[in-house]
Amino acid sequence: MLANNPYVIVISLDFSEAFDTVRHSSMLHKLEQLGIPDNVYNWFVDYFNGHCHSTAYGGSESTLR
């Protein structure tokens, strides 16, 4: 991107608690209402569809959820 643009915009989001407290469909609907570019919105859709999570601690790992 730097070859074609003088700068790159980076957005950093922490979803660590979002999987436990926010319905993905509700979050995607709110993002859609923001009018963000389609490629950014589609990245979020792709990220949340089929995304699994596990936790590792002390040499043990939980099952995928």
b/e string for 19-54 if b means 16 or more Cβ within 10 A? Answer: eeeeebeeebeeeeeeeeeeeeeeebeeebeeeeee
Residue 26's pLDDT is: 84
Residue 21's pLDDT is: 64
Residue 25's pLDDT is: 82
pTM, full prediction: 0.48
Confidence of residue 2 (pLDDT cuts 50, 70, 90): low
The per-residue pLDDT of the chain, averaged, comes to: 79
- Rounded Cα distance between 36 and 1, Å, is 19
Question: Where do the DSSP E strands lie in 1-65?
Answer: 56-57, 60-61
- Rounded Cα distance between 41 and 32, Å, is 7
pLDDT single digits (tens) 25-55: 888 898 889 888 899 899 888 887 877 777 8
β-bridge partners, 57: 60
Instruction: Retrieve residue 49's tokens.
Output: 């569809």
